[in-house]
Chains A and B, each alone.
Chain A
Amino acid sequence: MESPDSPSSFPPLSLDDALRHWLESGGQRLGELVIHRCGEGWEVRHHSDAAADVSTLTRHDRPEEAREIARYDDAGQYRPLKAAPTLVRGWRLVVPDTATLRTALDFFYPAALGNWVAFTSGRAVPVPVKATFARQTGMYRITGLLDDDDCRTVVAATCDYATRCRRRITWPVAPGIPLDTLPPEKTDTAPPDHELPILCLEACSLLVAAARTHIKKKRAAAG
Chain B
Amino acid sequence: MDDARIVSDRWRDAALVLLGHGSTQNPDSSTPTWQHADELRRRGLFREVQCAFWKEEPGFREVMHMVEADEVFVVPNFISEGYFTRDVLPRELELTGPVTRRGHRLIRYCDPVGIHRSMTRLLLKRASEIAAGVPRDRISLVIVGHGTSLNDNSTAAITSQVELIRASDAGFAEVVDAYMEEEPLVAKWDALTTAPNVVVVPFFIADGLHSYEDIPVLLGISENSPGAISANQGEVFRRNPYSLRGRQLFYSAAIGTDELMADVILDQVAAATAAQ
Chain A residues near B (Cβ < 8 Å)? 1-2, 4-8, 12, 14-15, 64, 67, 71-72, 78, 80-83, 106, 110-111, 113-115, 117-118, 123-124, 127, 135, 137-138, 201-202, 204-206, 209
Interface segment out of the listed B60-68, B111-119, B234-242: B60-68
Chain B residues near A (Cβ < 8 Å)? 22-27, 34, 38, 50, 54-59, 61-68, 83, 87-88, 91, 94, 102-105
Q: How many A-B residue pairs have CB under 8 A?
A: 85
Q: Which residues of B are found within 8 Å of A201, using beta-carbon distances?
A: 61-62, 65
Query: Which of A4, A64, A114 has the most C-beta atoms of chain B within 10 angstroms of its own C-beta?
Result: A114
B47 to chain A, nearest CB (A): 12
Q: Which residues of A are found within 8 Å of B62, using beta-carbon distances?
A: 110-111, 114-115, 201-202
Are A8 and B103 neighbours in the complex by a CB distance under 8 Å? yes
Q: In the assembly, what is the distance between CA of A6 and CA of B104, in Å? A: 9
Q: Which residues of A are found within 8 Å of B87, using beta-carbon distances?
A: 137-138
Given the known interface contacts A2-B65, A115-B65, the answer about A138 and B58 at a Cβ–Cβ threshold of 8 Å is no
Are A205 and B25 neighbours in the complex by a CB distance under 8 Å? no
Given the known interface contacts A1-B94, A137-B88, the answer about A80 and B24 at a Cβ–Cβ threshold of 8 Å is yes
B84 to chain A, nearest CB (A): 10
Extra A-B contacts (9), CB below 8 Å, given A78-B27, A81-B57, A137-B88: A2-B94, A15-B68, A78-B25, A82-B57, A110-B62, A201-B62, A201-B65, A202-B59, A202-B61
Main secondary structure on B side of the interface with A: loop
Are B103 and A7 neighbours in the complex by a CB distance under 8 Å? yes
Q: In the assembly, what is the distance between CA of A173 and CA of B169, in Å? A: 60
**Chain A residue at smallest Cβ distance from B28:** A78
Are B104 and A7 neighbours in the complex by a CB distance under 8 Å? yes
B75 to chain A, nearest CB (A): 18
Partner of A110, one of B57, B83, B91: B57
**Chain A residue at smallest Cβ distance from B41:** A103
**Chain B residue at smallest Cβ distance from A7:** B103
Are A111 and B88 neighbours in the complex by a CB distance under 8 Å? no
Partner of B55, one of A80, A83, A118, A202: A80
Q: In the assembly, what is the distance between CA of A12 and CA of B26, in Å? A: 36
Q: In the assembly, what is the distance between CA of A81 and CA of B55, in Å? A: 9
Are A117 and B57 neighbours in the complex by a CB distance under 8 Å? no
CB-CB nearest 5 A-B residue pairs: A7-B103, A114-B65, A110-B58, A111-B58, A110-B57
Are A204 and B25 neighbours in the complex by a CB distance under 8 Å? no
Q: Which residues of A are found within 8 Å of B59, using beta-carbon distances?
A: 111, 202, 204-205
Query: Which of A1, A8, A72 has the most C-beta atoms of chain B within 10 angstroms of its own C-beta?
Result: A1
A117 to chain B, nearest CB (A): 7
Can you identify 16 A-B contacts, CB atoms within 8 angstroms?
Answer: A2-B65, A8-B104, A14-B68, A78-B26, A106-B50, A106-B58, A110-B57, A111-B57, A111-B58, A111-B65, A114-B65, A118-B65, A201-B62, A205-B55, A205-B59, A209-B24
**Chain A residue at smallest Cβ distance from B23:** A80
**Chain B residue at smallest Cβ distance from A5:** B103
Are B66 and A4 neighbours in the complex by a CB distance under 8 Å? no
